[in-house]
A and B are shown apart, each in its own frame.
Chain A
Amino acid sequence: MLNSFSSSDREILAQYWHPVCWTSDLGEKPLPVVLLDTSLVIYRTDDDIVAAIDRCPHRGAKLSGGEIEKGRLVCPYHGLEFAEGGACVHAAGTDSNKIPKRLNLQTFPIQIEHGLVWVMLGDDRGAPLPIWEELYDEAFQTFPAPPFDCEAGPTRFCENFNDVVHFSWVHSGTFGQKNYVPELPYEFEETKHGLKHNIVYRQTDRTDFESSEEETTNALYSYDFTFPFANHMCLDFGSDRVQHIFAVASPVSAETCRLFFQFGRNYDQDKPIQKSLEFEVAVCAEDLGLLKDIFPKSSPLDIKEEVHLVFDKWSSAYRRRLYKLGLRN
């Protein structure tokens, strides 16, 4: 696989936890994923989830093309079997107590949180996972979207998620009010592990997904971001109608990412989620359509490289913080 990150950028990003799949994706089959240009296989044994390099140490076969049998990952080439912790426990013609240690898989620490499997590829620098308490609030009905693949780097995605002006151009087909600009500047705060900002946006009323563009409602959008790629947004429509959007970008490469979205709502819980989900998928498609043509595909972290406007407080602070972490792209 080609290296899309510089080696120092990759080393820094590898010190953070990144999600690679939903826990519910793991079943009868090993799952291939790519994280930071590295091909991994994720598989479930009887009481463990393992993340390992997706290559058999014996003859280089792609392990995710194999099977899971009796809680063991079986290589598709010569049938070597790997159990908990990636240990090779069976190799044809070899006494099980004489299997060379070098046949054990190179594995990585994992964590299960927010319904996702998170992987640590490098030396953990101790950065916390996002704290998404609202996912566990019983007043909220939560549901995930299918994962999206974004043809732009994770930095571009996060900047887009936290951008408050693009709605009026990119999302005029769903909830954005054409040409309308919210009151600027917005409230903005830097925290130890993240960024926070909020704004009132006069959006198209989507209470029943049928109102015309003329019907608007003022919503308070509060954002709570956790470095490097975890986004959370709370939409308060008034009258105790509150929605949450959780979206974390998994850095597949410097120029592509996989997005894991979850939604929560404290209203309409008697109604099916389908319409709501369709709407969110349409919003995301608008963003991904714009992002696939963005250039360069990863945000330039040298602050002088693009022009920053008053509403770019968030993205310019984001770039400065990433730069401070040592990222250069």
Chain B
Amino acid sequence: MNGKTVTELTDVLYPFGSAFSKTDWATLACFWHPAAESEEVANKPFGTVLLDIRVVVYRSGGKVSAALDICPHRGAQLSNGEMVDGNLQCPYHGLRYDGSGVCTRIPAQKPDAPIPSHMRLTTFDTVERFGIIWVNIMGAENQLAPLPDWSLLEENNTQSARVPTETWNVNAARHAENFNDISHLAFVHETTFGDVPYEVPDYSLEIEENTMRHYYVDGGSSMTFDRRLTRKGERRVPEVYDKVDYEYRFTFPFASSLHITDPDGRCVSIYDVIQPISVKKSRIFKHSARNYNQDQPMDDLVEFEVEVNKEDREVIEPALPVHVPLDPKEEYHIRADRWSIAYRRKLSKYGMGLDVDRVVPD
């Protein structure tokens, strides 16, 4: 971006008072993160926070743009402004910016007066895919990993729906570990998943450059697939299948998906990616998908997922320390934790955890 190195950009952008260490921040800023749902950015600019910096997302000239949400003139918050003729208009003095962040109009100047060249927004690279607007603060050329490959979501025989996006007081890596953790299912999700054996199957784990995959075959509960048959509040003895495939695919740093397939080939998938707002705050983007019952509404599946979320949230929001300790000696591990051990090791390899300060909860 603007021909600057990651170090130079970090010096300019690393936010004062951030609970991320400077190296953790710079590392995370090299990944693509979700910043908005596609539908959230329409005729109005959308303001959000990514890695403790204010970001405005807006549509201009058929493409989506993202920039530091601060007017370079007098510091006003641009996302409180509006879109005028495809330009982002500042709410303070009406300055306008096009999709590349260039100031196109200063109303207080005569139309032919020159616009100072440094009157431009600090813009960020964006990609719109899977119903999400992704932002890379350090720019595509500095990316540490590509977007997750969620192309299954876009296939014709897949029906998908967004699970309402939620903001949790949780660290993004904690959430990612929880999503990919198997041993908590029997305890945290008994109400939603039905009977899950305590013992964790010996799952296979593959580690690639920017992705991880783990899978196993196990018995499963019909509650996952036949959600429609269980009326709300009704305690039903679920049918149990002997062989259900569980496949988890993960893309660094925070994008997960789980694909559960029953013996008849019916597959339910959950896609989950986390926007790290700050060390202790995350926005969770989720999709639910399936390859059967395509004529049926997805409401029940979404509702199911909302309930699963609630169960996770109650456990992981109060977890301490707030951040995931990357030093393997800091927490205890069991064999079932092979995924999270690998995850932490890999985060270290990306350059994280070199100067971790303990984050104290509020």
Which positions in A face B, CB cutoff 8 Å?
156, 159, 163, 165-166, 168-170, 179, 181, 184, 290, 293-296, 306-307, 309-312, 315
Residue from the list A159, A163, A170 in contact with B91, Cβ < 8 A: A170
Interface contact B92-A307, CB-CB below 8 Å = no
Interface contact B70-A295, CB-CB below 8 Å = yes
3 A-B pairs closest in CB distance: A293-B77, A294-B75, A165-B108
Interface centre among B74, B94, B106 (most CB of A within 10 A): B74
Interface contact A307-B116, CB-CB below 8 Å = yes
Interface centre among B91, B106, B108, B109 (most CB of A within 10 A): B108
| A-contacting residues, B200-247, CB 8 Å | none
Interface contact A293-B80, CB-CB below 8 Å = yes
Contacts of A181 in B (CB 8 A): 107-108
Interface centre among B91, B113, B116 (most CB of A within 10 A): B91
Interface contact B75-A296, CB-CB below 8 Å = yes
The contact string, 1 if C-beta is below 8 Å from chain A, for chain B 98-131, is 0000000011110001001011000000000000
The A contact surface, by secondary structure, is loop
**Does B93 sit at the interface, judged by CB under 8 A?**
yes
**Does B72 sit at the interface, judged by CB under 8 A?**
yes
Interface centre among A296, A307, A315 (most CB of B within 10 A): A307
**Does B54 sit at the interface, judged by CB under 8 A?**
yes
Query: Given that A294-B75, A306-B72 are contacting pairs, would A170 and B108 also be in contact in the complex, using a CB cutoff of 8 Å?
Result: no
Interface contact B72-A294, CB-CB below 8 Å = no
Contacts of B80 in A (CB 8 A): 290, 293
Which positions in B face A, CB cutoff 8 Å?
54, 70, 72-77, 80, 90-94, 106-109, 113, 116, 118-119
Interface contact B91-A169, CB-CB below 8 Å = yes
Interface contact A309-B73, CB-CB below 8 Å = yes
Contacts of A179 in B (CB 8 A): 94, 107
Interface contact B92-A290, CB-CB below 8 Å = yes
Interface contact B93-A294, CB-CB below 8 Å = no
Residue from the list A159, A293, A309, A315 in contact with B108, Cβ < 8 A: A309
Query: Given that A293-B76, A294-B76 are contacting pairs, would A168 and B54 also be in contact in the complex, using a CB cutoff of 8 Å?
Result: no
Interface contact A295-B54, CB-CB below 8 Å = yes
Interface contact A295-B119, CB-CB below 8 Å = no
